[in-house]
Structure 1
Amino acid sequence: MIEVEHLSKVYGSTPAIQDITFSVEKGEILGFLGPNGAGKTTTMRILTGYLPATSGTAKIAGFDVHENSMEVRQRIGYLPETPPLYPDMTVEGFLTFVARIKGVAAGDRSQRVESAMKRCNILEKRKVLIRKLSKGFRQRVGIAQAIVHDPPAIVLDEPTVGLDPRQIIEVRNLIKSLAGEHTIILSTHILPEVSMTCNKVAIINRGRVVATNTPEQLMTALAGESGYELEVEGRFDQARLLQIPGVKAVDALADEALPENRSKLRLTLEAGHDPGREIAAMIVGSGLGLYELRRTRVSLEDVFLELTTEEKTINLAEADQAYERAQAAQREPSEPAEADNSTSQRSDPDPTVINPSPADADPEGDAR
């Protein structure tokens, strides 16, 4: 439905976006994620025909954005960061006006306007002047004008900026309800919006796309830093935990608030392994008190910070393979490790966990 290949935009000698490539299938919601100034708005403006690209191609429903601009505009709905509303018009009057200029046939306008207001839950505000609406309702009217001509593709640029928590939830649910019938690109730098709304993510940093995949697969690709945190009572040879398949490293965590004779440990796992049952069996079988066993998983925030604070990219093939290994490990759990008193087979284990200290991000500003 939406295909972007090697898209670039240069202002003088300053590149705003460079060699961007991604695609969105019919009915998907793509989260276009990146820090402020990364190039999100520039990309959205090119896709919607507001800005020409320096090089590369973008197609909406098979039509080239540059060569078939009018065809694309009939098939796309766009909500800029600031909704393009006329404050002295009523909600219904404004949507009727938008439907007319977007080429909706006169006989269909009333039905399309009614449908857009119903989907955006603004029917009770149809006769209200837009300037009298709250910010949340104005945002709903902005989304309604983007869908009033029933386009197959919708581009939403920061649709929840400035909304309170309740309004954010309402707009999020509205966007999710549009999926299936419409293909949606949701441009944002707010991570919870992506993880709760989108089934595919493209992360852009300093004008380049550094990762494109499902949120689950992106998180699996960085699963080397996932693991468990334990709180145990009693003395214990930490090296024994390295005998458990999938445990890569063991670290002691400092915690002055812990009672005497208790300790906290962090276990780092190899990708595709989840030996939680075996860990608990070894601790309990050794006669220790197990006060806490908590899974620490890589989040979308971890992926975002990893990719936008350092010059890194995720290998998509490796991400897919890691995800498949993780799924297979969940379907076929390994046997519990025996809780015995044998010593570790590994001499001088190195439980070091590498936690990179990201450099301060300094993304170049977007040309707006």
Structure 2
Amino acid sequence: MIEVKHLVKKYGEHLAVDDLSFTLEKGQILGFLGPNGAGKSTTMNILTGYISATEGTVMINGHDIFDEPEEAKKCIGYLPELPPLYQDMTVREYLNFVADIKFVKKNEKRKMIDRIMRMTKITEVSERLIKQLSKGYKQRVGLAQAIVGFPEVIILDEPTVGLDPMQIIEIRDLIKELSKNHTIILSSHILSEVSAICDQVMIINKGRLIVSDTPDNLSQHIGGSKGLHLEVKGEQEAIKKALETIPEITKLEFDKNAKGGIVKLSAYSNEENDIREAVFYALSDAKCPIYDMHSTKMSLENIFLELTQDSPKPHASKNSNRLLRKNKKKDEDGIPAETAEAMNQEPEQKEEN
């Protein structure tokens, strides 16, 4: 459904996307993660045809986004971080306008719009001006426009920004429902959200792919996925020294907030290793009694920090037989990637949902 090969984007001398390749099958939900300035928004703007690539190819449902932009864009629904809303239109007027742009058949338009408004829970505000809506409702209207026409590919950049907890759950359920018939790329800074709904997670940093795997398998890429949470009485240095004698332990994390002579920590090993017995005897020999021990797994937040902080510096893309796409469309040459990403970010609003 989506095939990206050797994607490169340069702003002057700055390399915003560096030799990025991945594929996504129909019905999958891809969580697209990376720190600010990693190149997420730049990549999604290229996938949607909003900006051109310096090098590489993007195929959407068999259509090249650069050579067949009209056919490729018919397959894409896009919600950018700053929803493209016309503030002086009512919600229904705006969705009618979007349906016309997407060439939805007139005899199907009203029924489709009514269905999409029910799906996104905006029917009750359908006759209100968009500028009068809260940030949460505006976000849902933005999601509704991405769904109009029911495109094969839906790309969502921070779809739950500004929503309250109940609305976030509703949008998660909607995304899961959409994935039955659509391929979805989801970018979010809420990592628990990504972990809950995505089939595949891709982490990029400095424009480069760091890792791509299922949420459950991500921790294996940092040398430790199975772990124990421990509460041990004793000096931290003595506990650390005792546990470092166990070769199966790949990582130790100490809780800095421990008090009362009780040290809290997590010890990680590879999936195939059960370290409980070795931990018991090592701490027993060190005269450090265990007050609590239970299995744990690294959170997606910890995995994300580990992978992005320790990732290598981006390398310069090598020249090859890949297609060099210059001046395919007028672009923002010379603009640093950080500026381009900042232009995509929505300013803070104090408005309540």
Q: Is TM-score (shorter-chain normalized) higher than 0.5?
A: yes
Q: Match for residue 365 of structure 1?
A: 338
Q: Match for residue 133 of structure 2?
A: 133
Q: CA deviation at 1:168?
A: 3.0
Residue 258 (structure 1) aligned to one of 251, 257, 260: 260
- Give me the whole-angstrom Cα distance separating, in 2, the residues matched to 1:244 and 1:13: 47
CA contact (8 A) 2:242 2:283 kept: no
SS at match of 1:4: strand
- Give me the whole-angstrom Cα distance separating, in 2, the residues matched to 1:302 and 1:250: 13
- Give me the whole-angstrom Cα distance separating, in 1, the residues matched to 2:257 and 2:136: 44
- The alpha-carbon distance between structure 1 residues 203 and 366, as it changes in their structure 2 partners (threshold 3 A), is farther
SS at match of 2:22: strand
Structure 1 residue identity aligned to 2:259? A
- Give me the whole-angstrom Cα distance separating, in 1, the residues matched to 2:140 and 2:207: 30
Q: Match for residue 34 of structure 1?
A: 34
1:54 aligns with 2:54: yes
Answer with 242-251 or 95-104: which moved more.
242-251
Structure 2 residue identity aligned to 1:182? H
* Structure 1: gaps spanning 5 or more residues: 314-362
Q: Match for residue 322 of structure 2?
A: none
Highest RCO, 1 vs 2 (Cα 8 Å, sep ≥ 6): 2
Q: Match for residue 308 of structure 1?
A: 308
Q: Percent identity of the aligned residues? A: 48
Answer with 180-189 or 214-223: which moved more.
214-223
Q: CA deviation at 1:256?
A: 7.0
- Give me the whole-angstrom Cα distance separating, in 1, the residues matched to 2:122 and 2:254: 55
User: Larger Rg: 1 or 2?
Assistant: 1
- Give me the whole-angstrom Cα distance separating, in 2, the residues matched to 1:91 and 1:187: 25
CA contact (8 A) 1:36 1:189 kept: no
Structure 1 residue identity aligned to 2:18? Q
SS at match of 2:140: helix
Equivalent positions of 1:187-202 (< 5 A) are: 187-202=187-202
- The alpha-carbon distance between structure 1 residues 49 and 268, as it changes in their structure 2 partners (threshold 3 A), is closer
Equivalent positions of 1:162-241 (< 5 A) are: 162-224=162-224, 226-231=226-231
Give aligned pairs, total.
315
- Give me the whole-angstrom Cα distance separating, in 2, the residues matched to 1:93 and 1:265: 57
Structure 1 residue identity aligned to 2:20? I
Equivalent positions of 1:311-330 (< 5 A) are: 311-312=311-312
- Give me the whole-angstrom Cα distance separating, in 1, the residues matched to 2:253 and 2:299: 21
- Give me the whole-angstrom Cα distance separating, in 1, the residues matched to 2:52 and 2:81: 19
Q: CA deviation at 1:83?
A: 0.8
Q: CA deviation at 1:219?
A: 1.4
Q: CA deviation at 1:190?
A: 3.0
CA contact (8 A) 1:59 1:65 kept: yes
- The alpha-carbon distance between structure 1 residues 70 and 35, as it changes in their structure 2 partners (threshold 3 A), is same
CA contact (8 A) 1:39 1:366 kept: no
Q: Match for residue 7 of structure 1?
A: 7
Q: CA deviation at 1:159?
A: 1.7
Give the root-mean-square deviation of aligned CA atoms. 3.4
Q: Match for residue 350 of structure 2?
A: none
CA-to-aligned-CA distance 1:133-171 (integer Å, 9 cap, x gap): 211111111111111111010011122234344433333
Q: Match for residue 358 of structure 1?
A: none
Q: Match for residue 331 of structure 2?
A: none
CA contact (8 A) 1:210 1:307 kept: yes
Structure 1 residue identity aligned to 2:9? K
1:159 aligns with 2:134: no
1:148 aligns with 2:148: yes
- Give me the whole-angstrom Cα distance separating, in 2, the residues matched to 1:275 and 1:63: 51
SS at match of 1:302: helix
CA contact (8 A) 1:230 1:264 kept: yes
TM-score calculated relative to the size of structure 1: 0.74
* Structure 2: gaps spanning 5 or more residues: 314-335, 344-353
CA contact (8 A) 1:41 1:366 kept: no
SS at match of 1:216: coil
- Give me the whole-angstrom Cα distance separating, in 2, the residues matched to 1:205 and 1:11: 17
- Give me the whole-angstrom Cα distance separating, in 1, the residues matched to 2:24 and 2:116: 23
- Give me the whole-angstrom Cα distance separating, in 2, the residues matched to 1:91 and 1:249: 52
Answer with 63-72 or 301-310: which moved more.
301-310
CA-to-aligned-CA distance 1:186-214 (integer Å, 9 cap, x gap): 12333222112211111111111111111
CA contact (8 A) 2:79 2:146 kept: yes
CA contact (8 A) 1:33 1:204 kept: yes
CA contact (8 A) 1:242 1:248 kept: no
Q: Match for residue 92 of structure 1?
A: 92
- The alpha-carbon distance between structure 1 residues 114 and 267, as it changes in their structure 2 partners (threshold 3 A), is closer
Q: CA deviation at 1:302?
A: 2.0
CA contact (8 A) 1:220 1:298 kept: no
Answer with 220-229 or 92-101: which moved more.
220-229
- The alpha-carbon distance between structure 1 residues 222 and 123, as it changes in their structure 2 partners (threshold 3 A), is same
- The alpha-carbon distance between structure 1 residues 16 and 266, as it changes in their structure 2 partners (threshold 3 A), is closer
Structure 1 residue identity aligned to 2:91? V
CA contact (8 A) 1:76 1:154 kept: yes
